[in-house]
Structure 1
Amino acid sequence: MALSDSKLRNIKAPYHGPIEIADRDGLSVRITKNAVIAFYYRFRWQAKQQRIKIGRYPDIKLSEARVTGLEYRQLLVDNLDPRCHGVNRGAARLLGDICNDFMKAYAHPQLSPTTVVLYESFISKYIMPNFNIDVERYRYTEWIKLLDGVRDDTTAANAGSILKRLKTVIRWSKVRGEIKSSACLDIPIKAIGAHQSRRERVLEWSEMAGLWRQVEASRATPKTKACVKLLILTGARNAEIRGAERCEFNLDKAIWILPKERSKTGKMIRRPLSNQSISIIESLDFIYGQDRHFLIEGLSQDKALSTHALNRYVQRLNEQLDYPHFVPHDFRRTISTRLSEQKIMPHVTEKMLGHELGGIMAIYNKHDWYDEQIIAYQLYWDLLKNHILQGS
């Protein structure tokens, strides 16, 4: 027989009746000898009887407990374990809500646009399907199962990256006092995947020459070709070139000034332009006009070339060239290594890459060795051009 508020109110201590009384739809109450009444939801999961405590009466009303029971029942219909997927009741903090708050209050105001895009992709692909996870009640083994699925569907390194982002978001909520703890924070990366391996790929001069010739011979658009060439010649970050605005470049003074708003370090970066870099930009001006907003436009004039389009083109180059696999970021390591072989000093190559110097120098030395960078950039192109002409 279903429960009623009057029945529950009339339960007094000492209680000598049945320990458990069923209501409906899996809801029941358990009663102690001292007449402490607690609501429970009973269900079967993987052929085993399970029980979830909803809360004590009268802190939780019978009507509220029934609503919660129906929400748990819907989770079962969706093939989700109610013990691990929270329902939005009271103080429960759901993973999806935490991620949305994280993006609004922290990511958008403080992180770089590139990092924001990474988090948006992470939320879309991995959080939205698991929006209702109650981060405090989700068990350690359930987090492991979730991340094992990521690893099996992708790679161990990707599972490790997803865990790191989960921890970042959940830890942010914890330090704000919104949650007390989460088992996710206790999971080591080695339990579910692997750390991202640090790339060490440095292209040989012969590979750089072959790559340049392959770019020239390809049927890609001039702007896509120009993007790869400028990445090779400047050692700039992928997003710095792709998102560059035409107004950042002064060809008469042979300089590119990257504003602090687009810099990973949050500081303005001056980069000299080699003769070849200037020639590439002049070719883009001739084709697309000098008054365009972005240096390298995407499918429309109001958008920059997308990272997907660039990576897809570089992947085609990988397929056409019989070289060990390379990615655009490897061009940064290559220019630094090859110029170091030519006795260009490390503090110069670090500034070319847009890095902050380490230690005390980062605090007291704000010089960017611009004149030395001019020599280094031109030397790099001259050496690369010689290898291209020699057919090496």
Structure 2
Amino acid sequence: MTLGDCVAYWMKHYVPQLKVGTQTLYRSFAKNYLIGAFPGRNVETIHAREWMEWLDTICLDSSKTANSLFTKLRAGLNFCKSKFIIEKTDLDRIKRQHVGKAPEVGTRVPTFSELSMIWLAIERSRASSSNKALHQLTILRGNRLSELRLARRCHFDMEAGIWMVPKEISKTNMPIRRPIPTKARVILERIMETYEDVLFPGGDLDKPITISAANRYIRCIRDSLPIEDWRTHDFRRSLSTGASELGVMPHVVEKMFDHELGGVLAVYNKHDWLKEQLEGYELYAEKLDNYLK
């Protein structure tokens, strides 16, 4: 079994069980780094030194990518071992902390002033209306990008004012109910007038915009602004911090992010405080609007 054989087996028998976004990420790593590496070599004969030299080469471009690649490679080979496709590899001798640099826990909290700059840069860009709306809604909602990127028209009950994220695309594997605040409603209604079932398509109107295309767009926006480095995921910290500063109660803020409540509340209380969430989102959007004027 070559490394390519092992990766192909993993991709066929395990990866399809994962969420769509995770599948896309794993296939990207496989295509860009794993398939074609060590061609013709029995994966069990690749020495630890060879693995490390290969990973160190990737580190030259991005130490974080090398670290992430290592964890995915190890997972794929471990799956093959669990199915008795291979017995062992020398990769087991390498520890993650010795490969590149692990991703840091995020601390960046874009301010309302910075969010307004990002919002206007998106507004003035020449991107498609779906791409622009995807990121502006994420600023307002603090949602995980893929929950919105993969959203369909049927996920939004505009009459009831509820966005239902199905379990298939939620990180928690549980359905999520979220209110639709006024500013988000305006954007959604405009998108629904433009697109059909897939609300945030890419080049193909029948398929959602890819995560790579969404990230590529936001990199262009980021590079055009004279502010400290930021990522789309940082919008979640901005909303959490901003909503708290505006007086939204902690348990409501936690529900706005689909976080489990602690203690007895996590076990018995399944209320999602939609009314209170909506009030929190409205306060946050109003504060942002003050900076956009």
- C-alpha contact 2:110 2:234 (8 A) present in aligned 1: yes
Matched, 1:134 2:38: no
| Greater alpha carbon shift after TM alignment, 184-193 vs 273-282 | 184-193
Deviation at 1:212, TM superposition (A): 1.9
Match for residue 238 of structure 1?
A: 145
CA separation of 1:344/1:306 partners in 2, compared to 1, >3 Å: closer, same or farther? same
CA separation of 1:183/1:346 partners in 2, compared to 1, >3 Å: closer, same or farther? farther
* Alignment map for 1:55-204 (pairs within 5 Å): 93-108=1-16, 110-130=17-37, 131-152=39-60, 154-204=61-111
Secondary structure of 1:97 counterpart: helix
CA separation of 1:186/1:355 partners in 2, compared to 1, >3 Å: closer, same or farther? farther
Secondary structure of 1:136 counterpart: helix
Q: Deviations over 1:207-248 (max 9, x none)?
A: 112222222233333222211111111111111111111111
Q: Deviations over 1:301-324 (max 9, x none)?
A: 211122233222222222222111
Match for residue 305 of structure 1?
A: 209
Q: Which has the higher contact order (CA 8 A, sep 6+)?
A: 2
Corresponding pairs, count: 292
| Greater alpha carbon shift after TM alignment, 293-302 vs 308-317 | 308-317
Deviation at 1:339, TM superposition (A): 1.0
Match for residue 157 of structure 2?
A: 250
CA separation of 1:99/1:363 partners in 2, compared to 1, >3 Å: closer, same or farther? farther
Match for residue 169 of structure 2?
A: 262
Distance 1:95 1:362 in 2: 43
Distance 1:357 1:98 in 2: 40
| 2:206 alignment partner AA | D
Give the TM-score taking structure 1 as reference length.
0.70
| Structure 2 counterpart of 1:342, from 234, 246, 253 | 246
Give the TM-score taking structure 2 as reference length.
0.92
Match for residue 353 of structure 1?
A: 257
Distance 1:367 1:183 in 2: 50
- C-alpha contact 1:265 1:356 (8 A) present in aligned 2: no
4+ residue runs of structure 1 moved beyond 4 angstroms? 358-361
- C-alpha contact 1:112 1:262 (8 A) present in aligned 2: yes
Matched, 1:367 2:266: no
For structure 1, list consecutive stretches of 5 or more residues without a partner in the other structure.
Answer: 1-92
| Structure 1 counterpart of 2:198, from 279, 282, 294 | 294
Q: Deviations over 1:167-189 (max 9, x none)?
A: 11112222333333222122122
Q: Which structure is higher in strand share?
A: 1
CA separation of 1:233/1:186 partners in 2, compared to 1, >3 Å: closer, same or farther? same
| 2:207 alignment partner AA | K
- C-alpha contact 1:160 1:195 (8 A) present in aligned 2: yes
- C-alpha contact 1:171 1:185 (8 A) present in aligned 2: no
Q: Deviations over 1:77-104 (max 9, x none)?
A: xxxxxxxxxxxxxxxx322222222122
Match for residue 11 of structure 1?
A: none
| Structure 2 counterpart of 1:211, from 77, 95, 118 | 118
Q: Which structure is higher in helix share?
A: 2
